Amino acid sequence: MTAIKASSKARLKSIFDKYFYYVHSVQSADHDASLLWKMMRNLWKGPLPKQPCMQEDFCGTAALCYEWVKLGQNHRAVGIDLDSDALAWGVEHIAKESNYKSLDRIELIHGDVLSDHKKKPHMICALNFSYFFMKDRTTLKKYFQSCKKTLSRNGLLVLDAFGGPDYQLPHSDRRRNSEMKFTYWWDVEQFDAISHEIKCHIHFKRDGEALRKNVFSYDWRLWTIPEITDLLKEAGFKSIEYWAEGLDKHGDGNGVFKPIRSERECQTWVIYIVAS
Q: Give residue-wise pLDDT tens across range 141-157.
A: 999 999 999 999 999 99
41 lies in a domain?
yes
22 lies in a domain?
no
* Predicted model pTM: 0.91
Do 230 and 214 have their domain in common? no
Domains identified in the chain, total number: 2
Residues 107-126: what's their mean pLDDT? 97
Sign of CA dihedral 127, 274, 36, 30: positive
Do 72 and 133 have their domain in common? yes
Over the stretch 216-251, which tens digit does the pLDDT of each residue have? Answer: 999 999 999 999 999 999 999 999 999 998 877 776
102 lies in a domain?
yes
Q: Can you state the angle between helices 137-150 and 225-234, rounded to 10 degrees?
A: 50
CB 247 within 8 A of CB 253: yes
Could you tell me the residue range of the domain that residue 201 belongs to?
168-220
**DSSP of 54-84:** EEEET-TT-HHHHHHHTT-TT-EEEEEES-H
215 lies in a domain?
yes
Do 42 and 76 have their domain in common? yes
Do 150 and 194 have their domain in common? no
Do 49 and 150 have their domain in common? yes
18 lies in a domain?
no
263, containing H or E segment:
none
CA angle 175, 180, 184 (to 5 degrees): 25
CB 195 within 8 A of CB 219: no
Residue 48 has pLDDT above 50, yes or no: yes
What's the CATH number where 111 sits? 3.40.50.150
